[in-house]
Structure 1
Amino acid sequence: MHLFPQIMEFAQRFGYKVVLADKQNWYPDLTFVCEENESIKFAVDIKTTFRRNGKTAGFTLGSHGSYFKERNKSKNIQFPYNQYAAHYCLGIVYTRNEIPDSEQLNIYKTEEIDATQSMVGYRKVTRVKKLESIVSVIKDFDFFV
């Protein structure tokens, strides 16, 4: 959720729109479609996993099922596989934080966290300025493409 505004701003800056997968189990998570030439598409699949005892728990890069074997089909994929100029995986590895006991947490109302909304492309983005009071449940991120 925190990365999505940056992804939208990136797409907008370079003349792309972002198409989200119609269904949760479809490939890819994000499709970047060129606004000037909609035949130019890039697939971005987001994969996350956590560290356990100093080791990465692991994740799959997808089954690449029928859409990989039959590249002109549209089963379980946003657009046929052969319509994409390139396929990317954004990998995110993180460490889980210990969650504090509920009595240690402060509860804030929405207006107390100084949230503002703006539009990035056709999506509404909420920015929260007072994050120091929000306990994160994950930390130590590693990103790779």
Structure 2
Amino acid sequence: MEEFLMSEFYEKMEGVNFEAYGILDSDNRIHTLGTDSKIIGRIFEMFTQPILSEIAQAHGMLLKTPVSQTVYPDFIMMRDEASREKIAIDVKTTYVGGNQSTIKFTLGSYGSYMRNNTKNIEYLYTDYVKHYVIGFVYRRNGAAQESAVYDYSRRDQVVFPYRDVRYFIQEKYRIAGDKPGSGNTENIGSFPTRCFSDLREGRGPFGELGVDAFDLYWKYYPKYRSPEKAYTTLDGFLEWVLQQNGLSLLHPYDHQGLLERIADYQKRHK
């Protein structure tokens, strides 16, 4: 049922104007956004919500945000509350210095709901059949002001804090890398690339290995403070997993099929 999401998202996003002046108060004054990346990230999230709502409604589905802002995911698309085929959608934002800069995202925790079905997540992790990331990449505008106030009639003088906005939607496992998003947190990192189309097309290593390999890799990835680390790289994981018996996930999976995909992957990447 989720096949429609990517194509319809791109179609509807074509008409979106990302030029947000700021916050308009009741005295018709604009408070500009400033350059804080968290605020800009929230702005892009606000641009996506009505698009996702339109898509959900067109398919007889609901779009919901979690009760708590600190749990996964940002948006949930579902038929109803009891559905075991929910779609998780997270919005991620990063900025780059130039077109040849490395693009990197953090993609959420590997130490919580991937290991504990109810931890830091709305509903159960096993209630979701797909996990998507909507990613925004932008360049900072050096001419932008920090937060300033303008009369609405002077809105044409506002300098937008971002430019060259690019976006994609892709399944999380297809853009995930084999390293945490930062050194001292338990967050999954995307695979680093200078080529934006790599993210749009989902050309990460788990795109070849499959979603079960992604789930296993990050479920068993050593926690930050673990004194012993069975593996910290994809190559190390591929060797480690072949030596294990009875590795479990929160959902059923085809272990033999996974081993066959690993063998094919290793042949292609000798």
TM-score in terms of structure 2 length: 0.39
Higher-Rg structure is 2
Matched, 1:84 2:128: yes
What is the DSSP-based 3-state SS (H/G/I as helix, E as strand, rest coil) of the residue aligned with 2:77?
Answer: strand
**Superposition deviation, residue 56 in structure 1:** 4.4
Give the match for residue 69 of structure 1: 115
The alignment of Structure 1 onto Structure 2 pairs a total of residues equal to: 121
Q: Could you tell me how far apart the structure 2 residues matched to 1:67 and 1:87 are?
A: 13
Q: 1:76 to 1:37 in 2, by over 3 A?
A: closer
Partner of 2:161: 137
State the percentage of identical aligned residues. Answer: 36
Any residues of structure 2 matched to 1:1-145 within 5 Å, and which? 1-35=46-80, 38-54=83-99, 55-56=101-102, 58-70=104-116, 73-97=117-141, 98-100=143-145, 106-108=150-152, 135-144=159-168, 145=170
Supply the distance in 1 between the matched residues of 2:56 and 2:158 (Cα, whole angstroms). 28
Taking a change above 3 Å as real, the CA distance of residues 141 and 53 of structure 1, as seen in their structure-2 partners, is closer
Q: CA deviation at 1:2?
A: 2.2
Partners of 2:133 and 2:82 lie apart in 1 by 23
Structure 2 unmatched runs, 5+: 1-45, 171-270
Rounded Cα–Cα distance in structure 1 between residues aligned with 2:119 and 2:161: 35
Pairwise CA RMSD of aligned residues?
2.8
Change (3 A) 1:132 1:2: farther
Unmatched tracts of structure 1, length 5 or more: 113-130
Aligned-pair CA distance for 1:11 = 1.2
Q: CA deviation at 1:138?
A: 1.4
Larger relative contact order (CA 8 Å, sep ≥ 6): 1
Q: Are the equivalent residues in 1 in contact too, given 2:96–2:102 (CA < 8 A)?
A: yes
Cα offsets for 1:48-97 (capped at 9, x unmatched): 10112552463211123221023xx2220011111101111111111112
Of Structure 1 and Structure 2, which has the larger fraction of its residues in helix? 2
- TM-score normalised to structure 1 length: 0.68
Judge conservation of contact 2:83–2:127 (CA < 8 Å) in 1. Answer: no
What is the alpha-carbon distance in structure 1 between the residues aligned to residue 136 and residue 145 of structure 2? 24
